[in-house]
Amino acid sequence: MSDTATTAPAPQLQAARQALKRYYGYDNFRPMQGDIIQHILNGKDTVVLMPTGGGKSVCFQIPAVVSEGTCVVVSPLIALMKDQVEALKANGIAAAYINSSVGQNEANDIARAATGGYLKLLYVSPEKLLSDGFMQFLTRVNISLFAIDEAHCISSWGHDFRPEYTQLGQLRNHFPSTPIIALTATADRLTKRDIITQLNLREPKVFLSSFDRPNINLNVRPGQDRVGSVIDYIGRHPQDPGIIYCLSRKTCETISAKLLAKGIKAAHYHAGLTPLQRGKAQEAFLQDDVQVIVATIAFGMGIDKSNVRWVMHYNLPKNIEGYYQEIGRAGRDGAPSTAILFYSFADVMQMREMVTKDVPARQAQLNTAKLERMQQFAEAASCRRKILLNYFSETLAEDCGNCDICRNPPTTFDGTLIAQKALSAVFRSREKVAINLLIDILRGMRNQAVLQGGYDQIKTYGAGRDLPYLDWYSYIHQMLNDGLFYIAYEEGYALKITERGHQVLKGELTLPLRKFQPSEKAEKPTRAGKKAASAAASATIGSPEAQLFDKLRKLRKAIADEQGVPPYVVFSDATLQEMAAERPVSRVGMLGVSGVGMKKFETYGEAFIKLILEEGGGAVPSDSDNLFQEPRPRLSLPNKADKTVSDSEDATIQFHQMGLTPEDISERRGLALSTVKTHLYNAYAKGRELRIHDFVSDAELAEIFTARAQLGGDPTLRDLFDHLREKYDYFQLRMAALYHKRLRGQ
C-alpha cells in the first residue's frame, strides 16, 4: 500500500492547524508533527519514535480533536493520565480517564459521555482496557483511533517491559478498521520491530524523529562527595526544579533529609511509600511547593512538568534507554537544562549484581550487555551526545559542544589502524562474534570458541597480539560509542559493522582514540563556598525582564493553587519568559505569545495583562477600556525607569564605599543578592572605581587570566566556569573580565 495513495482532505489539515492555534496557542507544528498528523488523518497505522518533550501527545490529540468520535489512549500510569487530562481540559478539550482511582459512579458518567459522543479523548490503563466487559463497552463508542503511549513497554528487549502490553494486539481483532498509533521516546531497533509485530500494525509508517535534545547539557562527574556536589549545585540554582534519581529507597530518604536540613525544599518518592504518600510528594513537586524530588525510577514516567531544569543520577542507571528517558524529563519546554551523572566503578559492580540476580539466564545476559554500554557512556572519551544518538541508530555530524567531554576534550591519538584491525576481524568472521571472542581472535588465543569457529584461519587472527586484553576492551567500546559497530542482541550479541564502520575500514575516515590508562582517576571537583555558590546562577536575575518573569511565575502559582492544578498547566516557563520579554498588553498581543491559546486567554489573560501593565508594560487602561478588544500601542516609561535604576545603583555603590560586602548590602537594602551584584557590575563597567579585590583576589585573578589563555580566543563565561571546575561564580568571572579589559586599556 502506497503512503501517497490517499491524502487527508485539505479541510482536515486546515482544521488541524486551526486546532493547534485555538487549543494550544501555537502557530506551527514542530518538525514531523504535521506529517504524522496527516498520516493518521488518512486512517493509517503509525509508529512515532520521538524524544521526551518532542511533542508526541499533540500527534494524536490534534487528530482526535478534528475527527469524529473518541480517541482511546492506552497509558501505563495513573499520574500520566491525570496530568494529560488536566492539561487538555485547561486547553478546552473534552477528555477523561478511567482507571483504578476512579469510583464506579464517576466511571459510569464518563462511559455515558463516551457513548454519547461528548469526549474527544478517553485515557485507560492496559489492565482496564483488557478487563472483562470493557472491550465490549468500547464497541458502543465511536472510536476515531487508538493511541498506545509508552509503546516500548510491549517488548521484552526494551528496558521497561510490561507483560500486560503484549495483549494489546487484541485491538486489531476487535477493531480491524480503526487506525492505531504507537508512540515511544525510547526504542532501539529490536524494540521497534516488536512494537509493529505485537500490535499487529498494518503496513505502518515509522516516523523517527531525532533523539537529539540539544538543550540538555550532559555531564558525568566522579562519585566522590556526591552529597556535597548536589548541595552546591542546588545552591547555585535556587529557583530551578530538579529530580535526583537514586538506586535505593534508603538513599532517597537519606538524601532528602540532608537537603531539608540545608533548608532546601525537597521530598522523596519510592515504591515503599503508601499511595497517599507518593501522591502527596508528587503533587508537591508538580505544584512547585518543593524544588527537588529525590526518587527511585518509580517516579517520572509520563510526568509532564515542563520546567524541570535539571536531572541528576546519584547512581549509575542500568541501561542507556532508562538514562535517556529519565534525563528527558528535564527541559521539556526547550529551555537550557542540565543532566548530571555521578559515576564510580563500584556502581557498576553493585548494579551488575542487581541486574543478574534471580532472573533467567537470557535476561541476565541482556541486562549485563546493556549495563556495559551504560558504563562505557560514563567512561567515554568522545562527545557524549554522539554516543547516545549512536545507541538509537542516529548519527550526529559534529560534536555537540554541550557536554563535559566537548568542553574539556581528552588527549587522543590516531587509532585508525587499531580500528581497522578490529573491523577486519569482524568482517572476516562474517559478523558472528561478540566482543570477548573478537578480542580473543585479535590477540591470537587458541581457546575452544576460536578453534571451533575456525577463526584461527582468518587473515586478521593474531593481528592485535601486541595489545593486552583491557586495551582492546577499551578501544572496542570506544568504537561502539563512535558508531562503528552495533550489537545484535538477538544474534548472540554479535557485532555488526555500520556504514560508518565500513568507511573507517576502507580508509575513508580516520578515528581518534583515547589511550587506555587503567590507573587514571577523575579529579575531585573543587567546591565553591556556600555564599558564592548560592549566587552564581542568579547573577543576572536582577534584570527587569527577569524580575517580571519572577512575578509572572508567582501569579501563575497563585492561580494554579486556587484551581488545584500544576502551575505548568496554566502556562509553561517558556510562555512566561516570552511574556516577560514581549510584555503584551492586548488581546492580539497576548494571543501572539506561544502557548497562549483561546481558552487559556479567556481564562487567564486578564490577570496576566494587568500584572504586565502594573510593571510598566504599557498604558494602564481606564475603567471603560476593554483589554480583550483591539490592541493599543504599548507605552514605555524609560525616564522614570532609568532614574529608579540609577538611584538604586548609586545607593548600592555608596554602601560598597562604606566597606559593606555584597551580602551586607543585600540584607541592609532588602534587595536580592543578584540585584546588588548587577549594580556593582554595571557601575564597574561604566568606569566607576570599586574595590575589585573585595570580590576577586590577586591570586584568583591570576588563575582566571591563566584559564582564559588556556582556552584561547574570547571564551564564554560558561566555558570559564566549567574549565575552572566551578570554583568561581559568574559574578567573579564577569568582574575579572572587566578588570582584564581595564589593564589592556579597553
Across the chain, which has 746 residues, the per-10-residue mean pLDDT values are 45 83 86 89 91 82 93 84 86 89 87 91 90 88 92 72 81 92 80 87 88 90 87 91 93 95 93 86 90 86 78 93 89 89 82 85 86 87 88 86 87 91 95 92 91 93 90 86 84 89 94 66 35 38 78 90 84 87 85 86 89 70 38 34 55 81 81 82 86 83 78 73 76 86 71
Same fold? 412-514, 639-743: yes
The dotted CATH code for 220-407 is 3.40.50.300
In sequence order, which residues have a C-beta less than 8 Å from that of residue 12 and are 6 or more positions away?
41, 66, 67
Grid coordinates 541592609 are at which residue? Answer: 668
137 backbone dihedrals φ, ψ, rounded to 5°: -60, -40
H helices present in 686-727, as ranges = 698-711, 717-723
Distance CA 533, CA 528 (A): 6
H helices present in 497-565, as ranges = 499-505, 530-536, 544-563
DSSP 20: I
Which amino acid, residue 357?
A: K
**Helices 573-582, 544-563: inter-axial angle, 10-degree rounding:** 130
What are the cell numbers at 2? Answer: 502506497
In sequence order, which residues have a C-beta less than 8 Å from that of residue 417 and are 6 or more positions away?
none
What are the cell numbers at 241? Answer: 526544579
pLDDT of residue 157: 64
Give the full edge-to-edge strand order of the sheet including 180-184.
95-98, 121-124, 70-74, 143-148, 180-184, 46-49, 205-208
509 backbone dihedrals φ, ψ, rounded to 5°: -135, 145
CATH fold of 412-514 reads Arc Repressor Mutant, subunit A (1.10.10)
| Sequence ranges of the domains in the chain | 10-208, 220-407, 412-514, 540-636, 639-743
Q: CB neighbours (10 Å) of residue 714? A: 8
The dotted CATH code for 540-636 is 1.10.150.80
What pTM, to 2 d.p., does this model score?
0.59
pLDDT of residue 48: 92
Compute the CA torsion angle 699, 700, 705, 707 (nearest 10 deg): 120
Using DSSP bridges, classify how beta strands 46-49 and 180-184 pair: parallel, antiparallel or unpaired. parallel
What are the cell numbers at 274? Answer: 503508601
Q: CB neighbours (10 Å) of residue 647? A: 10
In sequence order, which residues have a C-beta less than 8 Å from that of residue 329 and are 6 or more positions away?
52, 243, 300, 303, 305, 308, 311
Distance CA 550, CA 615 (A): 12
Tell me the CATH number of domain 10-208, given options 3.50.50.60, 3.40.50.620, 3.40.50.300, 3.40.630.30: 3.40.50.300
CA quadruple 269, 271, 273, 274: dihedral positive or negative? positive
H helices then E strands: how many in the chain? Answer: 34, 17
494, 196 Cβ separation under 8 angstroms: no
pLDDT of residue 707: 78
Domain 639-743 classified CATH 1.20.120? no
What are the cell numbers at 524? Answer: 575531585
